[in-house]
Structure 1
Amino acid sequence: MRNAWRVAAFDVAPPLAAVAALVYIGVALAWPLWWVATCSVLCVLIVQGVVVNVVLARRDGVTLGTDDDGPGLRLAVVAVATAAVVAGVAVGYFRWTVPDGALHDDSTEVVGIATSIAEASATFTPQNPTASIDRAAAMMSADSAEALKSQFATVAEQLTSRGVSAQASTISAGVEAIGPGAASVAVILRGTQNAPGKPPENAILALRVQLTKHDGRWLVDDLSPIHSR
């Protein structure tokens, strides 16, 4: 029973764990050519070691795991297998877990920015006609902010003269596309417009918000309506 345990622990588990770790690293790295070559060589060496161990077991009746005179060699085999597993875990963490976490954080951030700027762009009060557009401009790149302010100036003057106010709230928002430095978010709003002497007018607005990352900060480059086809 003792020998069976040692065979499983030192003769079977380490080579299997090492090969599995090498293959896992290859999957995580998407099998670049250099790793295909490296993994192939290392796997051949592992298989050769297993074959030698089997031959010695048939000839001498002992294996690496059951040889009482080879504790140092057993320790080295376990250390190498452990190093391979640790390397596999590290590669998987930095190739998958870290980017997935960053993508999730970026998605949450761009949706929050998009909803805020969409609501600000569709909100207006005659008492402070530039308040909402100033909030929107603060979330935009410099050129886009200036363009938005210039476009809004004429509209703000007309709405102020008529005493019209508008308020918008987000119904739904979602990421259409996102990458390391650019993103597109669709936002659906419910807008309510109030004018003196008239009942409130409700409308559903759909906007597309284009964002890019500048020095680690997401900024809006474009805000445009989504037209139904």
Structure 2
Amino acid sequence: MIPPAPTGAPPLLVVDGLVKAFGGVRAVDGVSFVLRAGESAALIGPNGAGKSTLFSLIACQRRPDAGTVRMEGRLLTGRPAHALAGYGIGRTFQIARAFSSLGVFEAARTAARVGLPRAEADRRAGDLIARLGLTGLADATVATLSYGDIKRLELAIALAGRCRLLLMDEPAAGMAPAERRALMELVGALAAEEGVTVLFTEHDMDVVFGHARRVMVLHHGRLIADGPPERIRADSRVRSVYLGESAGDSNPSDPDQPT
């Protein structure tokens, strides 16, 4: 059952009956959920559970065998991934990606210009660079940044076009604990200020239970639990298949699973 969202919040993202099979095995098996405006939700599961495949279906990187994804009633299924920004969706990746040959400000401005007029894009880029603590690096080439700074710049790029939904694939991957906390606190603050809905995948349970108001648990391609963090933490099935993960939980049918 979908937990209560912010009062009066309308459906933003509707995932309906998604299925994706590889070699006859369903990596994603009939997944449905509704994400409402203002929610901060985490998608978790053991390696091979299908979460990376599900995330790629939502982000239009793969086509489902069945089912649909809609953003504010508009069909996303079948659209190219580069069209996401036009639907009000920003995206970050497990391995940070940015414009390595550009300057920091120029990279943020380039992203902002996808959906904003030139003058507004310049203001937006400068504002995000300042709020993410990158002002002193505005003229630095992206390729020279530390990994933590690249993660913050990637967040600025994702938010530059004033997205309404932010998809984050393991945002804390590769970061030290202090950097993880700082980044997720920035995400939470910016999302709250700008009314951005957040959906992220994550292995770090401190990040999940510290920053998500809703947690969805995937196992063998199916959602087995969905609710507030305190209920998920206490769920005996979740504890057995994920929080107390054993080697038998891995599902090689998911081609996107980490090695």
- TM-score band by shorter chain is under 0.3
Structure number with higher helix proportion: 1
TM-score of the aligned structures, taking structure 2 as reference length: 0.24
Q: Which has the higher relative contact order, 1 or 2, with Cα contacts under 8 A spaced 6 or more apart?
A: 2
TM-score (norm: length of structure 1): 0.27
Q: Which has the larger radius of gyration?
A: 1
